[in-house]
Structure formats: structure tokens, C-alpha cells
Structure 1
Amino acid sequence: MMRGDRLISILLLLQSYNQLTAKQLSEKLEVSERTIYRDMDALSRIGIPVIAERGKQGGWSLLNNYKTSLTGFKETEVHALFISYSIQLLEDLGLKREADDARNKLFASLPAVQQNSAKAVWNRIYIDTSSWRQKQENAASFSVLQQAIWDTKKLRIEYQRADGSEDERIVKPLGLVAKGNKWYFIAGKENNEIRSYRISRIQTAKPIDETFIRPNNFDLASYWDSTTNAFIEHLPEYPVSVEVTKKIMPRLTFTGRFVRILEVKDPSQEGWIPVDLVFNTEEEAAAYILGFANQIRVLKPKRLHSKVSDMAKATAAFYQQND
């Protein structure tokens, strides 16, 4: 990003967020904090009233809600604004019609030459966040969660854990996150610990006539990124080496199970293709491999080879008994 563009971006960010720390600005603009401090000096020298407030709740802001009227879009900015949105997610939020109206108003406000650029984007990029044979998740409480976030009101929810057990808790709604086509509810507990809840597991959600104060420095996108990275880092890993037939190569990751391909090696003289895979657990690996029958065979670990063999024998015996 050129420095002039970055200075404008800083102004727009401060106008949008009112106050941001140097660290937050550096993360959003993908530069160092030292660069942000130099940019602030540059803004001050040209008469922009940026001020720094020290302390835990401090940060950079604009004096007396200073506003600048920046007009005109670059072509790449028009592209960014008019890339198609996810229709399914907007319908979940009840904002599909409003999004269409807002886009039409924005389109009408553009010069003719940029309207052509916007049309070109519509016809070249389309985003579909749904999955093949998508199963609609239970989201009975979605509108209640959404309203509580806007109203900053506490909720009493009944939540079903991954193991099937349920519990009741009072939470402070902070935001909604769409991961692919699945929604997550972000909320603070009574002790202010922030947690993520799969919306399809929220059995009931009832508003409590009690408001709360949102954490000043809470940034939804930053929270989600950090928790997602931490989740991935702590996922269990079960590496497996296999050989597969050419026939099933395109289907290896096109299944409902978690599997990651580490390496695909050159085929052997017999035509088998060596592949290194990673699963979460041995059980997932065994069920996955068994599903491909005689089109895949385990090289290592040997324990998994035996497990798949035993499962195949047990399956065959079961069906022979029930013929």
C-alpha cells in the first residue's frame, strides 16, 4: 500500500472506529507499529488533528470527531464493493432485500465509467458459500440472538455440548460469525470470558431485561482469527501413509470426513500412488480407508493396517450372518 493511500485509510479507520491502538492499526493495514507512528506524525504535520491517549483504554483518535469528506473510488475499490455477496448468509440475517437496495443506490451514485466496471465484476465473480447437498442447520433462535446483539441485552441460553449434554447459562451477546455456511454466536460469560457457540446447538434463547457494557477493545474479527488459529494448532493429528488407485485420487478429499493430503508421490510400477494423509484420530482414519474398499491400502502405521483388516472382516461376517 502506497503511503498516501495508507494515510487516507488511517483517517477512514479512525472515523469508523473512533479510537484504535497503534497495534490494531498496524494489523489492519499490515505494516509495523513503527510505521503507524511515523504516519501519525505525517498526519499531524499536514494539519490533521490526530491525538494519542495513553493507558490501558487508550489509543489514537481524531480530535472533536473530526471528519474528512473523501470522494471518488479507485477502480479496484469499485471491484471490492461490487463483488457478489453471499445470498444465503444475508437471508439468514434478514438483510437480503436491504443489501440489494443499498447496492443499487451505490451503483446509481457512481460515474458512468465506473458503473461499467461494477457490472463487469457482477458478471465475473460470484460467491456461493453453500455446500453440495447442503443440510439446513437448526437456527430457531437466530433472530433472538441477532436482536440481543443490537440491544446489548443479556440472554439465557440452553446449549447442547458436542457430547450431547446440555446446560443453561447467562451470556452477554457480542457478535455473529459465519464460517462457510455455518453460524457461530460469540458471547461473554458472567465472568467476562468470551466463548464461541455453534448456533445449531443453541436449544433455546430467552432475553433478560438486563443490559451490559461491551468490552471497549473487543474486535470481533480479531477475536475469531485468534481463536480459530488456536483451535487449529491444538487439533490432534494422526499421520497415515497409504497407496491408492488412480481411480479414487480425485475423490480423496471430496468426502464428509476430515482428511488433509500432505504429499502425493510418483506411482509405482504396479500403478499404485503413494499418498501421505493426516486425520484427527485413528478411528476417523480407519473408517475413511474402509470406505474405499480395495482401492486404498495402508502402508503405515501397521496398527492401522490391522485395525482396518479387522473392521473389514467384522463387516463381512455381519452381513453374511444377516443374508
Structure 2
Amino acid sequence: MRGDRLISILLILQAQGQMTAKELAEKLEVSERTIYRDMEVLSGSGIPVFADRGKNGGWSLIDGYHTDLTGLKESEIRALFAPVSPQLLEDLGLTRTSEDARNKLIASLPDVYRKSAKDIWNRIHIDTSSWRGTKERIASFEMLKNAIWEDVKMEIIYQRADGQTNNYIVQPLGLVAKGSSWYFIAAKENGDIRNYRASRIQSATPLKETFERYDSFDIATYWKSSKKVFINTLPSYEVWVKVSEEIFPRLSFSNYFVRIMETKSNIEKGWKPVKLTFDTKEEAKRYILGFTDQMKIIEPKELHLEIFKMAKEAVAHYKP
């Protein structure tokens, strides 16, 4: 383990330059004390690592030092050559480039590793497209991609979820693929960073003004935090129901935004208590009504009359 970690430290410093013991410890998931001990080992073995003291200090390699390490582990080869979504590569216009880069990487590997790298693509394939092959139309995707690489401000016309359209002047920071959908990450003029669903951007016009990207901005960290905030703000409506044993396996295959939160082991004459959660009450009512006599509401009691009313209206609508 220590040998792998020492190599990792060497490669990290070679690729990223100066880093503090705390940053290295967080990256390698060890204590700072362990990093200091590792540095002593590296230094004692003749590797020119040194520490700059002070507020902006950290560990680094002496200028000009470089090592070529080809001892890749099998797990590292799998991680390096794991396939990505062909659909997303096509969206980005990188399909051919990705194939060329992959072939060059394989050619650069020692013979002993080459077969392992090629074998990965015959065992794992990632497909983010829908079953029917439909995809969101993004009117200004090329403009968005170019603006991100060129660091130019943009004026976008964006349609919100409620149908309202707004104009924004933004600083493009990146693109995030969530499933088969793309999200455009950009900073507003007041510095607030926002997510825009790319398919709702009706037009995007690059401006002549450039901007300086935030050095501290990390798109993966930002997206993880943004996603957590979004999930915490989602509405939730919980319902306890009794479900017929016959249909219980089908609950996980619904097209509705329903989640099984809890089940009870006791079964009463073929009925299994289940706690479900929906985004809204309306979704809950439509879902439960769809199972007719194979699902019974335990609570909230208010749903009894509301679903009964919906059933009566459906009967009246289709009555010959």
C-alpha cells in the first residue's frame, strides 16, 4: 500500500506542482502525519521533494525533475480505459477524437497491458440514450461549447419550467451531462452560478467581451453540491398503502416518480403494507387509482374521498 501511495504522491506533484500536506492527505485519504512520513521516505530514497514554509507553502519537486512510471496496475488500466457514453461523445463532437486518443493510448502501453485495455470495451458498454432513441433538441449547443472554450460572455434567451422566457448575460463555465440531458453551467453578472437546462436555451449569442474564469471553480464539486441542494428542495408527498402481494414486484417499474421508502414484513391476508413517496399529491392519486382494487390507502385518510371522486368522474366520462 505504501509503495502505491508513494508513486501516487510523485505523480500528483509532477502533474499539479506544489501541494500542501493537507491537500495530499485529502486526495489520498490518509492523515497529514502519514504524508509527512511518506515525504521523509521519498527524500531518503533520493527523490528531490522539498517543502516551502509559510502561508502559501507546500510540497513540490525540484524544478526540471521528471520520471516516467509505466507500472500500471490492472485496476488502473480499467479505470483509464473504461468506456464513456457514445451519445455524449457524439453531442460534444468528440467521437472520432476519442477513438484516435484511445488507439494512441493502447499503442503506448507495454504488450503485457495491451490486451487488458482492449478487453475492457468488449465487457462494458455505456448507453445513456432512451429506449426509443429520442433526444432533447439543443438549438445552440455549438455556440455553448465554443463559448466555454473561448471564455467569452454570452447573451442567452432561456425558457423556464413555467414557460416564462428571460434574457441573461452569462459567463459560461461548463457543461454537465445528467443521464442523456445536458446542463449549461454559467455565472450571472452578479457572480451567482446557475444551472440552465441546455434544451431550454432558445438562443445563445456570443459577445465580444471575455472574462476571467474563477480559479477556485471546480465543476465536479459544484455539481455535486448543486445536486444535493436541488434534491433537498424537491417536494415530497408520503402515503401508506396496503398492496396486493400479486402486484408488489411491479411497484419498482412504474413510470411515475414514486419511490418505495419502507415496507413492513407482516402480511395480512395477502396485503403488504408499503410506504410510498411522490413528488405531489396529484401524482399519488393518479398512481393509486391506476391499481384499482389492488391497492388500499392506509393514510392519509383524505385521499379516500379524493380518489373516489376521481373514479366517479372517470366512470361518468366513459359511461356509454
When the two structures are superposed, what TM-score results if normalisation uses the length of structure 2?
0.87
Q: 1:100 to 1:39 in 2, by over 3 A?
A: same
- How many angstroms does 1:69 deviate by? 2.7
- CA 26–289 in structure 1, closer or farther in 2 if over 3 Å, else same: farther
The separation in 1 between residues aligned to 2:199 and 2:261, in whole angstroms, is: 32
| Contact 2:129/2:135, CA 8 A, preserved across alignment | no
The answer on 1:147 being equivalent to 2:146 is: yes
Gap change, CA 1:290 and 1:113, over 3 Å in 2: same
Report if aligned partners of 1:15, 1:65 keep a CA contact under 8 Å in 2.
no
Shift of 1:110: 1.9
State the one-letter code of the partner of 1:195: R
Amino acid at match of 1:95: L
Distance 1:288 1:24 in 2: 49
- Separation in structure 2 between the aligned mates of residue 237 and residue 268 of structure 1, nearest angstrom: 26
Q: What residue number does 1:195 align with?
A: 194
Following the alignment from structure 1 to structure 2, what is the Cα–Cα distance between the partners of residues 52 and 219?
A: 26
Residue 287 of structure 1, CA deviation: 2.0
Deviations 1:79-124 (A, max 9, x none): 1122221111101111011111111111122222212222332222
Query: Deviation of residue 140 (structure 1)?
Result: 1.6
Deviations 1:8-51 (A, max 9, x none): 33443444445666665555434456655665666566422454
Whole-angstrom CA distance in 1 between matches of 2:258 and 2:58: 43
8 Å Cα contact 1:40/1:50 also seen in 2: no
Q: Tell me which amino acid in the other structure corresponds to 2:305.
A: S
* 3-state SS, counterpart of residue 252 of structure 1: helix
SS of equivalent residue, structure 1 residue 253: helix
The secondary structure found in structure 2 opposite 1:204 is: strand
Match of 2:281 in 1: 282
What is the distance in 2 between the residues matched to 1:65 and 1:173?
35
Q: CA deviation at 1:160?
A: 1.0
Q: Percent identity?
A: 58
Matches within 5 A, 1:82-121: 82-121=81-120
Amino acid at match of 2:258: V
- Unaligned residue ranges in structure 1 (runs of 5+): none
How many angstroms apart in 1 are the aligned matches of 2:18 and 2:195?
A: 26
For the structure 1 residues 148 and 13, does the alpha-carbon distance in structure 2 shift closer, same or farther, using more than 3 Å as the test? farther
One-letter code of the match for 1:212? F
**Bigger shift: 105-114 or 170-179?**
105-114
State the one-letter code of the partner of 2:55: R
What count of residue pairs does the alignment treat as equivalent? 318
CA 100–221 in structure 1, closer or farther in 2 if over 3 Å, else same: same
Moved more, 58-67 or 244-253: 58-67
3-state secondary structure, aligned to 1:223: helix
Structure 2: gaps of 5 or more residues: none
Distance 1:127 1:310, change over 3 A: same
Structure 1 residue 300 displacement after superposition: 1.2
Alpha-carbon spacing, 1:226–1:126, altered in 2? closer, same or farther (3 Å)? same
Q: State the secondary structure of the residue aligned to 1:69.
A: coil
What's the offset of the Cα at 1:290?
2.2
Contact 2:49 2:60 in 1 (8 A): no
Residue type at the aligned position of 2:278: F
